[in-house]
């Protein structure tokens, strides 16, 4: 497993301490008592949500362990992470592992936010089917057809069983026998959770494989908290200031980084004479839709609806006022520098530093290593031909090939030494001709050697290599080193 931890974990407690010191300055933007109220309400919502999931797990005879303080201590740090409610891969599970570790070692409250206000397929499962050097990615979903994550449910148990049966057969055919027991266990869990929210089911399945020291809460529930609703409505009603600041920050951010894609890291909001698009959505029973407001107008949100921030504004809320340290994956770590700049431009606050944690685990690491080694060798092919002696004894050639190339390399050294000593142009031409012939002989020997077979892997099409490098398989398909400790 390859891990990404930035900065190194050993520095996280110090980052947390520095961030905590800046809480008073950040709180002044909303008011200290309001920030206290926000964190208190957030913790209570997370405790209640976690308790509900724990009770559901007990009702289907799959108890979940976890001992959390019932009351929020404002004097303790609050650390957070978050992601959409998809079936986690190893990288996301590793991020949550670090969240639990930091909570334990820093005596901090910890909350994972399930961003269920986006759209997508929360039940998608992707698994490999390997036949020798051929690899196919198979997929299916245990989710119903609704687009909004928060509305999706687990399909009927017969369909769940059918999907996981196909997965087990393909994994067995691929030689991934170590995954079969975990896949069977997960299949039974999803069958028991048929008809339940996909977000809830994914959390309960994931919790079976974690030593968890964090609470969890859905973003849709968090957004219904009165103090959160009031903060977001203030930002929406301030659209005439917020949106120009948002757009100008995006444009300067792209210009400095020479980003040509106008949707990277986020698209600009449109400003029309009678309407302003804001980086929020309106969530209703019918689904989610972009939100626009009239200049100087007030938004009327119906009782069964609520507003939800889009990507950048989610982390703005969570990092600015809800947490003292936010743990991103690699994706969030790439776009959140923009959020830092926007927070400074619009709110006039310096956001607390964030950290990044993720990991990469391949289903067939030996095949990936073979391809990558071949690509590396191909990039050094000219060096191998021109400085052959540096690569002898590295296992690239057979014994006979090594012997032949060693003699050639020795002869080349002699010719190069003679070349420095010759006086006449005729003598120089003779040595150069011998040297060129020798170099051609070395190249022909290398091209017909064992190395040539290794270099064939370097010709793999990029689309095929990407398939072997696929890293977002469900966590339970690959080895689970995360079960033991933090």
For residue 311, the SS3 value is helix
pLDDT of residue 39: 96
Among 358, 79, 413, 374, residue whose Cα is nearest residue 213: 79
440 lies in some domain: yes
User: Other C-beta atoms within 10 Å of 264: how many?
Assistant: 15
Whole-angstrom distance, CA of residue 178 vs CA of residue 480: 10
| pLDDT tens per residue across span 383-416 | 999 999 999 998 999 999 999 999 999 999 999 9
Helix 90-106 to helix 12-21 angle, to the nearest 10 degrees?
A: 70
Can you say whether residue 358 is alpha, beta or left, with left for phi > 0 and alpha for psi between -120 and 50 degrees?
beta
Q: Rounded to the nearest 5 degrees, what angle is found at the Cα of 64, between the Cα atoms of 59 and 67? A: 125
pLDDT of residue 480: 59
474 lies in some domain: yes
Question: Are 350 and 429 in a shared domain?
Answer: no
pLDDT of residue 485: 45
302 lies in some domain: no
> How many domains does the structure of the chain reveal?
2
Whole-angstrom distance, CA of residue 45 vs CA of residue 180: 36
214 lies in some domain: yes
Contacts of 129-136 with C-beta under 8 Å, sequence gap 24+, read 129/170, 129/173, 129/174, 130/173, 130/174, 130/175, 130/364, 131/173, 133/367, 135/364, 135/367, 135/464, 135/467, 135/468, 136/467
Question: Are 85 and 106 in a shared domain?
Answer: yes
Question: Are 486 and 401 in a shared domain?
Answer: no
Question: Are 141 and 245 in a shared domain?
Answer: yes
The ranges of the chain with pLDDT < 70 are 297, 303, 480-486
298 lies in some domain: no
For residue 109, the SS3 value is strand
Question: Are 16 and 134 in a shared domain?
Answer: yes
Whole-angstrom distance, CA of residue 339 vs CA of residue 249: 9
CB proximity list for 160: less than 8 A, separation 6 or greater: 142, 154, 187, 190, 191, 194
342 lies in some domain: yes
12 lies in some domain: yes
- Residue numbers of the domain that contains 437: 368-461
Question: Are 17 and 131 in a shared domain?
Answer: yes
Whole-angstrom distance, CA of residue 174 vs CA of residue 17: 48
Whole-angstrom CA distances from 354 to 269, 346, 386, 388, 473 are 26, 19, 47, 47, 26
Among 8, 53, 104, residue whose Cα is nearest residue 485: 104
Largest CA distance in the chain: 97
Whole-angstrom distance, CA of residue 15 vs CA of residue 352: 9
Question: Are 353 and 384 in a shared domain?
Answer: no
Helix 23-30 to helix 12-21 angle, to the nearest 10 degrees?
A: 40
Question: Are 123 and 176 in a shared domain?
Answer: yes
Sign of the CA dihedral 113, 215, 34, 302? positive
| pLDDT tens per residue across span 108-134 | 999 999 999 999 999 999 999 999 989
How many whole angstroms from its chain centre is CA 191?
28
453 lies in some domain: yes
For residue 78, the SS3 value is strand
Whole-angstrom distance, CA of residue 381 vs CA of residue 389: 13
Question: Are 392 and 317 in a shared domain?
Answer: no
Question: Are 333 and 421 in a shared domain?
Answer: no
| pLDDT tens per residue across span 238-276 | 999 999 999 999 999 999 999 999 999 999 999 998 999
Question: Are 402 and 372 in a shared domain?
Answer: yes
Question: Are 424 and 317 in a shared domain?
Answer: no
Whole-angstrom distance, CA of residue 237 vs CA of residue 242: 9
């Amino acid at each position: 497993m390859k891990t990404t931890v930035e900065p190194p974990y050993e520095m996280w407690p110090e980052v947390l301490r520095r961030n905590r010191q800046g809480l008073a300055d950040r709180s002044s933007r909303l008011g200290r008592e309001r920030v206290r109220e926000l964190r208190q309400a957030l913790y209570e919502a997370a405790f209640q949500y976690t308790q509900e999931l724990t009770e559901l797990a007990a009702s289907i005879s799959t108890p979940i362990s976890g001992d959390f303080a019932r009351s929020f201590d404002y004097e303790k740090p609050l650390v957070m992470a978050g992601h959409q409610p998809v079936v986690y891969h190893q990288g996301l599970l590793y991020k949550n592992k670090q969240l639990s570790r930091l909570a334990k070692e820093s005596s901090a409250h910890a909350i994972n936010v399930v961003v269920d206000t986006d759209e997508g397929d929360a039940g998608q499962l992707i698994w490999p089917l390997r036949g020798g050097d051929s690899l196919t990615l198979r997929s299916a979903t245990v989710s119903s057809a609704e687009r909004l994550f928060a509305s999706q449910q687990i399909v009927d148990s017969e369909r769940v069983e059918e999907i996981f049966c196909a997965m087990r057969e393909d994994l067995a055919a691929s030689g991934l026998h170590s995954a079969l027991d975990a896949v069977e266990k997960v299949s039974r869990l999803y069958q028991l959770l048929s008809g339940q929210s996909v977000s809830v089911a994914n959390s309960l399945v994931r919790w079976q494989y974690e030593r968890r020291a964090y609470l969890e809460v859905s973003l849709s529930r968090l957004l219904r908290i009165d103090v959160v609703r009031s903060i977001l409505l203030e930002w929406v009603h301030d659209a005439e200031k917020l949106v120009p600041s948002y757009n100008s920050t995006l444009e300067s951010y792209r210009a400095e980084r020479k980003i040509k894609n106008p949707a990277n890291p986020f698209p600009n909001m449109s400003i029309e004479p009678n309407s302003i698009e804001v980086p929020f959505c309106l969530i209703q029973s019918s689904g989610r839709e972009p939100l626009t407001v009239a200049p100087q107008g007030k938004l009327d949100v119906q009782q069964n609806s609520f507003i939800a921030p889009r990507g950048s504004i989610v982390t703005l809320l969570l990092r600015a006022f809800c947490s003292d340290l936010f743990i991103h994956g690699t994706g969030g770590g790439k776009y959140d520098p923009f959020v830092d700049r926007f927070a400074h431009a619009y709110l006039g606050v310096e956001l607390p530093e964030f950290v990044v944690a993720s990991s990469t685990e391949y289903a067939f690491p030996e095949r990936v290593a073979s391809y990558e080694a071949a690509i590396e060798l191909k990039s050094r092919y000219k060096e191998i031909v021109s400085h052959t002696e540096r690569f002898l004894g590295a296992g690239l050639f057979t014994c006979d090939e090594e012997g032949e190339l060693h003699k050639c390399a020795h002869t080349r050294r002699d010719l190069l030494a003679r070349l420095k000593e010759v006086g006449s142009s005729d003598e120089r031409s003779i040595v150069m001709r011998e040297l060129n012939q020798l170099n051609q002989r070395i190249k022909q020997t290398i091209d017909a050697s064992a190395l040539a077979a290794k270099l064939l892997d370097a010709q793999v099409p990029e689309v095929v290599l990407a398939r072997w490098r696929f890293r977002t398989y469900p966590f339970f398909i690959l080895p689970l080193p995360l079960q033991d400790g933090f």
